Amino acid sequence: MIAARAIGAPLDRIDGPLKVTGAAPYAFEFPAQDAGYAAIVQSTIAKGRVASIDAGAARALDGVLAVLTHENAPRVDSPDDASLRVLQSDAVAYYGQIVAAVVAQTLEIARYAAGLVAVTYAEHPHDVDLRADRTDLYKPEKVNAGAETDTSEGDVEAALAAAAVKIDHTYTTPYEHNNPLEMHSTIAEWSDDGITLHDSNQGPHNVLGDVAQAFGMQPERVRIISPYVGGGFGSKAFTHPHVILTVMAAKLAGRPVKTMLTRQQMFSLVGYRTPTIQRIRLGAGGDGKLTAIAHDVVEQTSTVEEFAEQTAVATRMMYAVPNRSTTHRLARLDVPTPTIFRAPGECPGMYALECAMDEMAIACGLDPVEFRLRNEPDIDPDTKLPFSSRGLVQCLREGAKRFGWDERDPKPRARREGRWHVGTGVAASTYPTRRRPSQALIRVDRDGTYSVLIDASDIGTGTWTALTQIAADALDVPVEQVRLEIGDSALPKAPGAGGSMGLASWGTAVCDAAQKLRARLHDDHGGVVPADGLEAHGNAGENPDAKRFSMHAFGAQFAEVRVDADTGEVRVPRLLGVFAIGRIINAKTGRSQLLGGMTMGLSMALHEETILDPRYGHFANHDFAEYHIATNADTLGIEAHWIDEDDPHVNPMGAKGIGEVGITGTAAAIANAVHHATGIRVRDLPIRLDKLLR
Partner 1 sequence: MNPFRYERASDARSAVAMLAAAPAGAFLGGGTNLVDLMKLGVATPELLVDVARLPYDRIDALPDGGVRIGAAVKNSVLAADRTIRTRYPVLSQALLSGASGQLRNLATTGGNLLQRTRCVYFQDVTKPCNKRAPGSGCSARDGYNRSLAILGASEACVATHPSDMAVALVALDAVVRVQGPDGERAIPLADFHRLPGDEPQRDTVLAHGELITAVDVPALAFGARSKYRKVRDRASYAFALVSVAAALDMDGGVVRDVRLALGGVAHKPWRATRAEAVLRGAPANEETFRRAAGAELADAVPLSENAFKIPLARNVIARVLLDLAEGSR
Q: Which residues are catalytic?
A: 660
CA proximity to 253, closest of 456, 65, 453: 65
Selected from 607, 649, 656, 676, the binder of partner 1 by CB under 8 A is 607
Find the shortest distance in angstroms from Cβ 125 to partner 1: 17
**693 belongs to the binding site for partner 1 (CB under 8 A):** yes
Residues 570-599 that bind partner 1 (CB under 8 A): 571
Choice between 33 and 632, CB closer to partner 1: 632
Find the shortest distance in angstroms from Cβ 143 to partner 1: 31
- If one counts every other C-beta atom within 10 angstroms of the C-beta of residue 80, the result is 12
Q: What is the 3-state secondary structure (H, E, C) of 508-550?
A: HHHHHHHHHHHHHHHHHHCCCCCCCCEEEEEEECCCHHHHCCE
Q: How far apart are CA 530 and CA 553, in angstroms?
A: 43
**111 belongs to the binding site for partner 1 (CB under 8 A):** yes
Q: How far apart are CA 647 and CA 435, in angstroms?
A: 14
**152 belongs to the binding site for partner 1 (CB under 8 A):** no
CA proximity to 442, closest of 415, 409, 475: 475
Q: How far apart are CA 225 and CA 242, in angstroms?
A: 16
Partners of residue 570 on adjacent β-strands: 563
Give residue 193's identity as a one-letter amino acid code. Answer: D
* Contact assessment for residue 490 and residue 223, using Cβ atoms and an 8 Å cutoff: yes
Residues 642-681 that bind partner 1 (CB under 8 A): none
Find the shortest distance in angstroms from Cβ 626 to partner 1: 6
Find the shortest distance in angstroms from Cβ 174 to partner 1: 13
CA proximity to 271, closest of 243, 235, 301: 235
How many residues bind partner 1 (CB under 8 A)? The answer is 32
* Contact assessment for residue 467 and residue 484, using Cβ atoms and an 8 Å cutoff: yes
**689 belongs to the binding site for partner 1 (CB under 8 A):** yes
Choice between 3 and 633, CB closer to partner 1: 633
Choice between 5 and 571, CB closer to partner 1: 571
Check the CA dihedral 366-368-369-372 and report its sign.
positive
Check the CA dihedral 548-456-200-238 and report its sign.
negative
Selected from 615, 637, 644, 648, the binder of partner 1 by CB under 8 A is 615
Choice between 20 and 490, CB closer to partner 1: 20
Choice between 77 and 108, CB closer to partner 1: 108
**632 belongs to the binding site for partner 1 (CB under 8 A):** yes
Selected from 139, 142, 419, 522, the binder of partner 1 by CB under 8 A is 419
Find the shortest distance in angstroms from Cβ 126 to partner 1: 15
Selected from 626, 637, 644, 648, the binder of partner 1 by CB under 8 A is 626
Stretch that binds partner 1, among 15-23, 110-118, 380-388, 487-495 (CB under 8 A): 110-118
Residues 6-45 that bind partner 1 (CB under 8 A): 44
Find the shortest distance in angstroms from Cβ 565 to partner 1: 9
Stretch that binds partner 1, among 82-90, 179-187, 617-625, 664-672 (CB under 8 A): 617-625
What are φ and ψ of residue 42, in 5° steps? -110, 150
> In the chain, what is the straight-line distance between the N-terminal and C-terminal CA atoms, in Å?
56
**620 belongs to the binding site for partner 1 (CB under 8 A):** yes
Find the shortest distance in angstroms from Cβ 199 to partner 1: 25
Choice between 162 and 689, CB closer to partner 1: 689
What are φ and ψ of residue 27, in 5° steps? -50, -50
Q: How far apart are CA 32 and CA 103, in angstroms?
A: 15
CA proximity to 413, closest of 690, 668, 674, 691: 674
Q: For the chain, what is the largest distance between any 2 Cα atoms, rounded to a whole number of angstroms?
A: 78
Selected from 401, 613, 637, 648, the binder of partner 1 by CB under 8 A is 613
Choice between 470 and 606, CB closer to partner 1: 606
Choice between 535 and 564, CB closer to partner 1: 564
* Contact assessment for residue 519 and residue 508, using Cβ atoms and an 8 Å cutoff: no
Residues 41-100 that bind partner 1 (CB under 8 A): 44
CA dihedral 67, 45, 620, 599 (to 10 degrees): -70
Find the shortest distance in angstroms from Cβ 632 to partner 1: 7
Q: Contact letters (x/-) for partner 1, 542-571, by CB under 8 A?
A: ------------------------xxxx-x
Give residue 187's identity as a one-letter amino acid code. Answer: I
Stretch that binds partner 1, among 149-157, 276-284, 357-365, 616-624 (CB under 8 A): 616-624
Q: How far apart are CA 98 and CA 374, in angstroms?
A: 53
Q: How far apart are CA 345 and CA 342, in angstroms?
A: 9
Find the shortest distance in angstroms from Cβ 117 to partner 1: 13
Q: Residue 216: exposed, middle, or buried by beta-carbon count in 10 A (0-12, 13-18, 19+)?
A: exposed
Find the shortest distance in angstroms from Cβ 567 to partner 1: 5
Selected from 392, 606, 670, 673, the binder of partner 1 by CB under 8 A is 606
**112 belongs to the binding site for partner 1 (CB under 8 A):** yes
Q: How far apart are CA 578 and CA 90, in angstroms?
A: 52
Choice between 42 and 461, CB closer to partner 1: 42
Alpha carbon 645 to chain centroid distance? 25
Selected from 411, 531, 631, 646, the binder of partner 1 by CB under 8 A is 631
**378 belongs to the binding site for partner 1 (CB under 8 A):** no
Cα angle 167, 172, 178; round to 5:
145
CA proximity to 653, closest of 529, 467, 388: 467
Choice between 45 and 392, CB closer to partner 1: 45
Find the shortest distance in angstroms from Cβ 154 to partner 1: 44
DSSP category for residue 473: H
Find the shortest distance in angstroms from Cβ 691 to partner 1: 9
* Contact assessment for residue 55 and residue 100, using Cβ atoms and an 8 Å cutoff: yes
Choice between 409 and 626, CB closer to partner 1: 626
**616 belongs to the binding site for partner 1 (CB under 8 A):** yes
Stretch that binds partner 1, among 479-487, 514-522, 623-631, 645-653 (CB under 8 A): 623-631
Selected from 3, 181, 531, 625, the binder of partner 1 by CB under 8 A is 625
- If one counts every other C-beta atom within 10 angstroms of the C-beta of residue 107, the result is 17
Find the shortest distance in angstroms from Cβ 231 to partner 1: 19
* Contact assessment for residue 569 and residue 689, using Cβ atoms and an 8 Å cutoff: yes
Stretch that binds partner 1, among 241-249, 517-525, 619-627, 656-664 (CB under 8 A): 619-627
**108 belongs to the binding site for partner 1 (CB under 8 A):** yes
Partners of residue 552 on adjacent β-strands: 432
Stretch that binds partner 1, among 81-89, 316-324, 603-611, 673-681 (CB under 8 A): 603-611
Cis peptide before 478 (omega within 30 of 0): no
Stretch that binds partner 1, among 303-311, 333-341, 577-585, 685-693 (CB under 8 A): 685-693
Residue 101 Ramachandran class (φ > 0 left, ψ -120 to 50 alpha, else beta): beta
State the alpha helices, DSSP H only, in 270-414: 346-363, 368-374, 392-403
**611 belongs to the binding site for partner 1 (CB under 8 A):** yes
Residue numbers at the binding site for partner 1 (CB under 8 A)? 44, 108, 111-112, 115, 419, 566-569, 571, 606-607, 611, 613, 615-616, 618, 620-621, 625-626, 628, 630-634, 688-690, 693
